[in-house]
Amino acid sequence: MADARRLRVMIAVIARQLEGLGHVAVGAASPVPAAATLLARELSGSKLRVSILGSEHHNPFTDGGRELFDCAAQGRLDAFFLSGVQIDATGAVNLLGLGPPRSLARRFMGNFGAPYLAALVPNVILCRTDHGPRTLVEKVDFITAPGREGRLLVTDRGVFVVLGGRFVLLSWHQGETVEGLRAATGFAFEVADDAAPTVGPEPGMGELLAGPVKAAMRAVYPAFAERL
């Protein structure tokens, strides 16, 4: 996983994307999105409603995923997060497995609910903490959720957005270069005209991460909370 400095950059980038939203949900095994959502809640003055599956204090659902799906279907969920075994140049996500679709060489358990939520939630943000050519590919082996125009991808090395059907580089993190990102990415990409180094945590974000965000994260992601 990325070092703590890059994780904080990812968290800051995502938190800014959630500004002005009303309700954001985070699935299981998603520490970076969880921290970013909790940071966004603090920045909103607790106006943002946060639902984190697996949390006793930030999970209003008593019937697990079914209530989350109902919430999305009713238009009461503004943002959700997906990662994937593979993410391709169009923003499509593969959570099913690797290999030919009729005979997958490796099968995974993360497919549940992702196609449904990706179709209904207006803001689906993709997140990877291990930017590399094996996970960021030209075409996924299996489409769990198709790409969508405007979809954001935040990795430990840079930020991309789908424009014209393919990812375009918006920014690169400190220590990275466009050439380095091209070598580390399994698909070709254009660079936005206004692309620039990624803006890290703003003044005050560090204190929030070390204080209320870290305290809230301890209950669900104790090891990750210490890394903050």
Q: What pLDDT, on a 0 to 100 scale, did the predictor assign at position 39?
A: 98
Measured CA to CA, the distance from residue 6 to residue 77 in angstroms comes to: 28
Which residue carries 């299981």 as its tokens? 28
Measured CA to CA, the distance from residue 146 to residue 132 in angstroms comes to: 20
Q: What pLDDT, on a 0 to 100 scale, did the predictor assign at position 110?
A: 61
The yes-or-no verdict on residue 105 having pLDDT over 80 is no
Q: What pLDDT, on a 0 to 100 scale, did the predictor assign at position 63?
A: 61
Strands 158-163 and 97-98: unpaired
Distant-in-sequence, close-in-space partners of 9: CB < 8 Å, separation ≥ 6: 173, 174, 198, 200, 201
- Mean pLDDT over 171-189 rounds to 97
Q: What pLDDT, on a 0 to 100 scale, did the predictor assign at position 101?
A: 64
The yes-or-no verdict on residue 61 having pLDDT over 80 is no
Choice among 15-19, 112-116, 197-201 with the minimum mean pLDDT: 112-116
Confidence band (pLDDT; 50, 70, 90) for 27? Answer: confident
Q: What pLDDT, on a 0 to 100 scale, did the predictor assign at position 178?
A: 98
- Mean pLDDT over 36-53 rounds to 94
86-88: strand order across its sheet:
93-94, 86-88, 136-137
- Mean pLDDT over 213-218 rounds to 93
Q: What pLDDT, on a 0 to 100 scale, did the predictor assign at position 60?
A: 63
Q: What pLDDT, on a 0 to 100 scale, did the predictor assign at position 102?
A: 62
Q: What pLDDT, on a 0 to 100 scale, did the predictor assign at position 104?
A: 67
Q: What pLDDT, on a 0 to 100 scale, did the predictor assign at position 96?
A: 86
Q: What pLDDT, on a 0 to 100 scale, did the predictor assign at position 41?
A: 96
Q: What pLDDT, on a 0 to 100 scale, did the predictor assign at position 122?
A: 96
- Measured CA to CA in angstroms, residue 207 lies from 15, 29, 42, 168, 201 at distances of 14, 24, 11, 32, 10
pLDDT tens per residue, range 148-179? 999 999 999 999 999 999 999 999 999 999 99
Q: What is the 3-state secondary structure (H, E, C) of the chain?
A: CCCHHHHHHHHHHHHHHCCCCCEEEECCCCHHHHHHHHHHHHHCCCCCEEEECCCCCCCCCCCCHHHHHHHHHCCCCCEEEECCCEEECCCCEECCEECCHHHCCEECCCCCCHHHHHHHCCEEEEEECCCCCCCEECCCCCCCECCCCCCEEEECCEEEEEECCEEEEEEECCCCCHHHHHHHCECCCEEEEEEEECCCCCCCHHHHHHHHHHHHHCCCCHHHHHHC
Q: What pLDDT, on a 0 to 100 scale, did the predictor assign at position 100?
A: 74
